[in-house]
Amino acid sequence: MDKIVLASGNQGKLNEFAHLFERYDISIVPQGSLGVEDVPETGTTFVENAIIKARHAAKVTGLPALSDDSGLVVAALGGAPGIYSSRYSESALGADDATDEGNIDKLLNALKATPEDKRDAYFICVLVFMRHADDPTPIICQGRWHGEIATQRAGEQGFGYDPVFYCSTLNKHAAQCQKSEKSTVSHRAKALELLVAEMESLIG
């Protein structure tokens, strides 16, 4: 195994995974460069959507595939925005017009009557690795980053909901964290650590 297709077009994720697998002489290739289009995420959970994306990329390319499905879960909102995190502020289902700013605005508005001690939330990242499209035992790993939703934005780093996600461990908003800080506590870092441990027997 010397090449893995990443079921994403996100450059940030590509850079992160490419660096991780560099030590194993494995190339991480974005699905777009292989002619793979995004597949509709029709699952009802992060795990289901991650599997859908990995299976699709593996089927089209014939390569092992790695996918990532991530989002924000807010207890006071019954788990929302959840699997719809990136699409939270869409004007209509499938409109594809949601933005990070719009998502944050909608989130803060939904929580405006929620007291500060009831704003618990966590980021979750689910990673799925499939050896081939019909892999009956995909490797599935997940990580969580616990925090709370602040009442105002702070910081210029990161993306998504980072400006309003406050981490008590670091005593700052996610958007105020340097990459080195996030790599010690973030949901994706935790999931990646588990994934590498699981894959050692395959790529060691």
Active site members: 69
Burial of 58 (0-12, 13-18, 19+ CB in 10 A): buried
Largest CA distance in the chain: 52
d(CA 153, CA 161): 9
Residues 6+ apart with CB under 8 A from 130: 51, 54, 55, 58, 64, 65, 138, 139
Distances (CA, A) of 130 to 138, 141, 184: 5, 12, 26
**DSSP secondary structure letter of residue 7:** S
Question: How far is residue 91's CA from residue 69's CA, in Å, rounded to a whole number?
Answer: 22
